[in-house]
Every structure is written in structure tokens, then in C-alpha cells.
Structure 1
Amino acid sequence: MDQNEFSGNLEKYKNPIEYDVIYENYNVDLHYIKNLLRKNIDPIIELASGTGRLAIPLAKQGFNVYAVDIHEGMLQLAIDKAKKQNVQVHFSLQDCTQLQLPISSNFIYMTGNSFQHFLTNDSQNALFQSVKKHLHPSGEFVFDTRNALLNELSIVDEYEESSVNSKGEKLTIQHREEYNPVTQILTCRSINKLEHSTFEDSILLRYTYPMELKRLLEQNGFELLHLYGSWKKSEFTKDSPSMIVHARLTK
């Protein structure tokens, strides 16, 4: 994969097995997608599919899933998991801003706040144009992104959390998060401490504001059908932790 805007911002995913353990039981977005699709028999496309947390159970339900991710390790774990479960998913290693899939679809989705990886206006536009090329007329695109809670972003946040990794070892993580209001990018740095080792990682996350997002959709030929504050379809307010975006291609 060629170097691009995303290549240097993937440290958080360098251990796909540990990432999979952390999120394997998160399924509220899966329920939303399943209820939305119901008996859809056409191929569906997942962007930034990670370790297959959504793609594999959807394929088990009978959906014809094409799943794309830019991280080779995450994608390989997803492929291995699908094989072990005897599930057919069309996985491919691709940049979401330059999709080259052999199909088009009525439905494309992207969860896990992956939209925040598109750090520039150009890459956001490129994502929508790439999605647009793979949607049928009036096709729908669903994705989520964290809401910019200004009272949280206005301070440098330092905190610590503990968990147990896949080997049963205690893991202590010290986080430091600092937001740049000019670039709208949050820099998250972490020091990860195990009993006999310590390693650091970081990630950059772009925040997009509601009216900014609405204009971004319209400029790229989409209309906003729904904006929810959570995957449970709660009303979106200034205090909502998330923006769940359900858009439709109009031109």
C-alpha cells in the first residue's frame, strides 16, 4: 500500500488481536445496521472493516458483504476469523478514498468513528466521492463520528485506565489528549505498561461539526436523512457523544 495521509496514523492498530479483544463485544452499531437492512439481498459494502466485527456476523445472516480496510494486519485477522467460522466475506486491502471494487451497492456503511481518520477537507471529499462511485442512484451511506464536546476538548485531558490483555496480563494505559481548534484535530498519546514492558502509541482524530457535516454531504451529492446522537437512535443534541449519520445519494 502506497504512503498516504493514513499510513502514519495507524499505531493504535499494530496489535490486531488486542484490538479485537477490546471491541469484540461491542454490537450496538451491528444491531442498527441489521435492522436497517432487514432482507436486503444486494451486495453491501463496509469501509474500515477492521477485524471483521460487523462483516462476519452480517455474512452469517446471509448478506453478501464486501469489506475494505487499509491496515493489512487487521484485515488478515478478519480473513482468518472468517475462515475459521466458514463464512464468506469479500475482504480487500484498499484506501477508502480510492475504492476499486467490482460491484456497486445500495448500501455502504462505516462504523467505529473511522470518519475521524480523514484529517483534511480533501480526504473527506475524496471519501464521499469514492463512496458515490460505488453507490446506486438513491443509495445510502451510514457512518458515525464523535461529536465535538467543547467542554471536554477545551482542556488537555490526562487520565489512566487499567484492563487485562488477551494473555491475562494487567495493562495500565496513561492517556494524554490535546485538541487543536484550528485544525480540529485531537492528538491522543498513550503509554502502555505491562509487567515487563512499556510501549507508546498515538493517533490523530479529526472532529467535524454538525453544520459543517451537513454542507459536506450536500456538496458531494448527498442529503442527510437522519442525524442521531447514538446508535440507539437517540435525539442528537449538543451533549450527544456521537453523530450517527444516515445519508442518501441524490446526484
Structure 2
Amino acid sequence: MDKIITDEKKIDELLVRGVEDIIVKEELKAALMSGRQLRIKLGVDPTGGKIHIGRAVPLRKLREFQRLGHQVVFIVGDFTAQVGDASDKTEKRPMLTRAQIDENLKDYKSQISKILDISKTEFVYNNDWLSKLTFGELTTLAECFSVQQMLARRNFKDRYEAGKEISLREFLYPIMQGYDSVAVKADVEIGGNDQLFNLKAGRIIQEYYGMPKQSIMTFQMLDGTDGRKMSTSWGNIITIVDEPFDMFGKVMALH
């Protein structure tokens, strides 16, 4: 295990640089100062074959955690990608096939290695545990949440009021992401601010299992080439493997 760095100046910098919000900041700082190695979780669904620069924001933060000696856990959402995260969507998301997901995964590690120290990164696939959940276990987890909580989310609320279809599988997504935190024993989960409900679900489900609740660190989302949030699903991305000239041109053309 790497030496855990508890230099307060470096920890304060990690907690501030590029960060929008932390739940709960004082608790996370105390944990970082304790000298205990923390497990830092980031989950990414392989909805496309290329990782965009919006993903690079949390990846760079993970690298900062690595430099302080903490264990990064990168969850490849090969199961949740089939369900589809509705956090930022105004329409029902189509389900991906297993073949599509496998194709998207081909170059993931090589792309991530441009930012993370792969030798110090724990790669896991949530199909390994989510596919084994029984109907009884899922029913128990669902008891932790209400329909009112789900419909209070902005995108679900807007779709419901507009009479647009909302699939029950979309309600299951935050439960699955939350259970990921139990499976990997996450101390911290990071993600975009659009993921806040899902990140909080991890705290709720960890508490249900009698585990310490993970800290949450969120980041502001980057705009895509069309002015909407950068998203593989919308095809408005700038990837981390774009040629420098192309990347520069796309960045300069952002709205």
C-alpha cells in the first residue's frame, strides 16, 4: 500500500480545485487527515466507445486521490449501461444490447490510462454483482425509496407533467448505482452534479446495510458542441483521444 499523504495544504487543494460541492466536507477532510486509505469510487457506463473530456474532470480528480495514496475503484457499468441512466434525459433512454456494450468497452482501459495510474486502479464490472441480485433483494432495496422521491427529480417531474413515458427500469437505476457503493465498500463517490440523486442513493443504501455513509464530491458538467451537456448519447462530445488540432477546434467552437 502506498504511503498516505496527510499534508493539510494538499488535502485542502484536493477538496477545492474543480469541485462544485461535497457532502459532507468536514467529514471527508477528517477522513483524509486520518491517514487511513480511502476507497474512491467512480462509475462510468460504456454508452459509447470513446471517453469525452467531460469524463476527464472526475478522472483527473481520481488521479489527485491516487497521488495522496488512496485506492481508486473504477466501476465499469456494463450492467447499468443496459438499464440507462435517466439523470439528464427528457426522453426514455433506449436499452443497449450486450454486444453494443462489449464493443464500447474495447479501448476503455487504454483511454483511461492517459489520466489514471492503471497500476493503482481497481477495475470492477457491476454485472458481477447486479446480475446476481434476486427479486427479493431488489424489492428490499426498493423499499428505501418512494415514488414521490423519484418524481421529485427534475427530469422525471418534467416528463411526467408533459405526459411523456417513464419506464420503471429508469426508477431502478439509482438503486443499482447505490448498491454499487455497497459492493465496492466505497468511502467516497465522485460524479457530475447531474448525478446527485444517484450519489445520495449510495449513502441511503449503505446506511441500510449498516455501513458508513460515503462522502460525495460533485463537479459542474461541461457543455457539449451543441450547447447541451456533453453526453455520448447526444453525440456532442470532444473525446480525450481526438487529435490535438481537432480538439482545439472543437473547444474553440463551443457555445
Provide TM-score, normalisation by structure 2: 0.35
**Structure with the bigger percentage of strand:** 1
TM-score, reference length from structure 1: 0.35
Determine which structure has the larger helix proportion and give its number: 2
Q: Which protein has greater RCO, CA pairs closer than 8 Å, 6+ apart?
A: 2
